[in-house]
Amino acid sequence: MSEPSTWPDDLDPLEESLLTRLDGLRPGRSCAVDPLTAATLFESQVASRLLDHTARWLRADGHGYYTIGSAGHESNAAVALALRPSDPALLHYRSGGFYVARASQVAGHDAVGDVLRGMLARTTDPISGGRHKVFGHRALNVIPQTSTIASHLPRAVGLAQWGARETGRGDVVVCSFGDASLNHSTAQGAFNWAQHTAHRGDPVPVLFVCEDNGLGISVPSPEGWVADRVGRMGMEVESVDGDDPAEVLAATSRLSGHAREQRRPALLHLRCVRYLGHAGSDAEAAYRTTSDVRADYERDPIVGAGRLLVDAGECAGRDLVEWYLSQRVEIRERALALLSEPEFESATQVMAPLAAPDEARVATRATAFHGSGRGGSLEPLTLAQTVNATLSDVLAADGGAVVFGEDVGRKGGVYGVTRGLQKEFGEARVVDTLLDEQSILGLALGIAVGGGLPIPEIQYLAYLHNAEDQLRGEAATLGFFSQGQYANPMVVRIAAYAYQRGFGGHFHNDHAVGVLRDIPGLVVASPAHPADAGPMLRTCAAAAREHGTVSAFLEPIARYHTTDLFDGDGAWLARPSAEHAPIGSGRVHGDGTDAAVVTWGNGLWLSLRAQRRLADEHGVRVRVLDLRWLAPLPIADLLTAADSAGRVLVADETRRSGGVGEGVVTALVEHGFTGRIGRVSARDSFVPLGAAANLVLLSEDDIVAGVLRLV
């Protein structure tokens, strides 16, 4: 047996405190937990703590990249042991104890190796392949999350709703988060949505776990604030101290039982401490006194777990110390051995999960969608009617497809685009949601990871911006951080752009799409004509199913019910067809060689009108390239159109600064086009109400003048 004088001389003060207290444990009461559970709990908590110390040891030696730890939060291991390993888990970045304990419930899993490989960014990391240190494993039902600012809570509620409806296994979705995140609108929206769902009588078996250490980096939560807030949630709530593992186990069992049996949300307020600062780079001494830090040592959850073993008569405190020290050596040795495992060597390796879908497979499925519902009609349809018929096709062909959003069901959408679909497919397949875009996208994320095909509608593009992180931070990252083991197949339909007559203003006429175009892997589709809308929507749905693709499908509001290009010509109608529209392919209108006009969305309607004026009034013949896809851009078609004319005008209905046209011009230059380039666009203004909008939006006259300047 070692004495304190023989302990390693590089122990952290936290380790010295822990070992001293473990060494002093003596049997004092009957054990409230069976010995096997107590042993698993202690071992899981120690492994998690040692991983945190090892991360800092590695970093100090020039190795390792991640030092945000779980020290002080290890009581979440008891949460894992009180749940079933089949219960999906979306974890806070301090839920290391939970991850290790969950791995202990499933034979053959090496949690320590998983976490070490993640912090060392080794390509052998089983979840992210070295892209980021996240807690996740498909076989453990731990879904990897960035878990910042509660961004994963809406997905948890969505998964609980979808799983309760589709699986029938009685699983509870568990979702942990920090006390500072409790204040974020994303968290509040998720709680509200869960309560709204339960109030409506629908199942939502989710267990929220607020890991309350009293600090948001350096800012303390006000005394009593968290307890007050969770007490007002309107759901089943229990508060427990993390250094009382028996009570954490019991409270979690009670709450998870409530969620599982009653199919209603519950919340565990887990009071814990934070050791070692926010991260390795955090100078905790700048905002906490030494006495405060030392006082927290008295609340160490590992001591509570050790006391259970000593009370059970399984071992003495000195045995726990010996075991800790042996594990300390073993984990450090394992970490050093893993340094020989590979890291990424090329951008191609890093970006592999963002690769484009297999076009042949997408085309086959997209073609199969056609005509399954009402999309086989031979009648010429408007853009809105085409989208409606195509949604009918997808819903009929894919039993996991669900259309949902504000007003999409009974009313059929603000513009009637989804009219009749709820009557055709029922309220479970075409769903009216509450008015909250974060919740709408959270439902999409839950359905997607649960195996369905979500097709949410965002009522206006301007409404997306308060929830855009659900696409950027959640939907787009899951496949990247899981090497494609998890995916978010979805098609987000968005009523977009400007030019509405008689109904306008900024919030209903938004053309800011830059927030979408810079999200890696996100497909941005922008159909303008009914002939393209159906094939492109089927392609997006097929890519979601075949590859897990996340698509934003921008529908130009002003063209929903357009029938003519010029009065009475019916040129803005099209009969449904089985045509396929490959992602990143444009469509050329005309064969003029004086200039090429490159455009999309409402710009196509304006450009085709300008095309006729230029020919009739000026003898200038242009071809018009409809990009159709804003991400990825159809580079090959763009260069072909440009080279055919030697002059290019980009007709950009988005704003001049940060608009799509900037990317088009850059692509031309970077790919070696040496001809003349011009650009006309909307002004750098919000869209005002009424006729004033015409003063700042791209116009037909702008396009005509722009072409004439070039030629």
How do beta strands 595-599 and 622-626 pair?
Answer: parallel
- Token pair recorded at residue 303: 């001591």
Which one-letter amino acid corresponds to residue 576? Answer: P
- DSSP string computed for 510-575: B---HHHHTSTT-EEE---SHHHHHHHHHHHHHHHHHH--EEEEEEEGGGTT---SSTT--TT-B-
- Token pair recorded at residue 224: 């009593």
Residue 236, strand partner residues? 266
Exposure string for 581-591, b = 16+ CB within 10 A, e = fewer:
bbbbbbbebbe
Which one-letter amino acid corresponds to residue 15? Answer: E
Among residues 559, 566, 693, the alpha carbon closest in space to that of 626 is found at 559
Q: Which of 152, 508, 511, 547 is catalytic?
A: 508
Among residues 572, 449, 603, 545, the alpha carbon closest in space to that of 136 is found at 449
SS (H, E, C) 205-237: CEEEEEEECCEECCEECCCCHHHHHHHCCCCEE
CA–CA dist 473, 511 (Å, integer): 22
Active site residue 152: no
Please return the burial class of 314, using the count of CB atoms within 10 Å of its CB with bins 0-12, 13-18 and 19+: middle
CA–CA dist 586, 641 (Å, integer): 10
CA–CA dist 132, 191 (Å, integer): 28
- Token pair recorded at residue 455: 């097709």
Among residues 131, 181, 182, 189, the alpha carbon closest in space to that of 155 is found at 189
- Token pair recorded at residue 83: 């749940």
CA–CA dist 675, 377 (Å, integer): 44
Measured N-to-C along each axis, helices 35-60 and 96-104 cross at an angle, to the nearest 10 degrees, of: 130
Among residues 688, 153, 606, the alpha carbon closest in space to that of 624 is found at 606
Asked if 390 contacts 539 with a C-beta cutoff of 8 angstroms, the reply is no
Asked if 564 contacts 570 with a C-beta cutoff of 8 angstroms, the reply is yes
- From the CB of residue 336, how many other CB atoms can be counted at a distance below 10 Å? 14
Which one-letter amino acid corresponds to residue 517? Answer: R
CA–CA dist 468, 476 (Å, integer): 11
Q: Sheet containing 173-178: which strands, arranged edge to edge?
A: 142-143, 89-90, 173-178, 206-212, 266-271, 236-241
H or E segment and range at residue 458: strand 453-458
Asked if 382 contacts 561 with a C-beta cutoff of 8 angstroms, the reply is yes
Q: Catalytic site residues?
A: 508
